[in-house]
Amino acid sequence: MRPELQRKIDQAIRLLQSIPLRPDEAVELSYSGGKDSDVILQLAKESGIKYRAIYKNTTIDPPGTVAHARAMGAEVVMPKQSFFDLIADKGIPSRWSRFCCKEIKEYKILDKAIQGIRRSESRKRSERYKEPEICRKYGGG
């Protein structure tokens, strides 16, 4: 393995181990079934932290993705309302009306969460990206 890659792995593991957890507490590993989630899941395993891998099903997910999430040990959680019920209530989502992710994916289950996100996923994300030095938790605390 290249030394630079091993340095980044070690840094990520230390960052995960720095999450303050009570003995009875776990961190929510936001699992999507994609390669970034697979990487953060492996890093969480290697770090030895207590976590729950949680896959938030949108109700329109491909069956293969849901099966992969289950195979990786993630809990599959269903939203309060299906995607199509949300559309019936709120209309079609658009650039100006982005309620779907908030309602279906971006709700907390545990107070602390980790995600695997690549800075190279988009130009805007790359411009905003800063190497994490601390772990954040919901509620700003």
- 37 found inside a domain: yes
Residues 110-128 pLDDT 10s = 999 888 776 555 566 566 6
For residue 114, give the H/E element and its range. Answer: strand 113-114
- Specify the length of the chain in residues: 141
Q: How many domains are there within the chain?
A: 1
State if pTM tops 0.85.
no
The domain containing residue 58 runs over which residues? 24-115
Rounded distance, CA 116 to CA 82, Å?
A: 25
CATH of the domain at 93: 3.40.50.620
- 32 found inside a domain: yes
Residues 48-72 pLDDT 10s = 999 999 999 999 999 999 999 999 9
Q: How far apart are the first and last CA of the chain?
A: 37
- 39 found inside a domain: yes
- 14 found inside a domain: no
Pick from 21, 28, 84, 91: nearest CA to 56: 28
Q: What is the DSSP letter of 74?
A: P
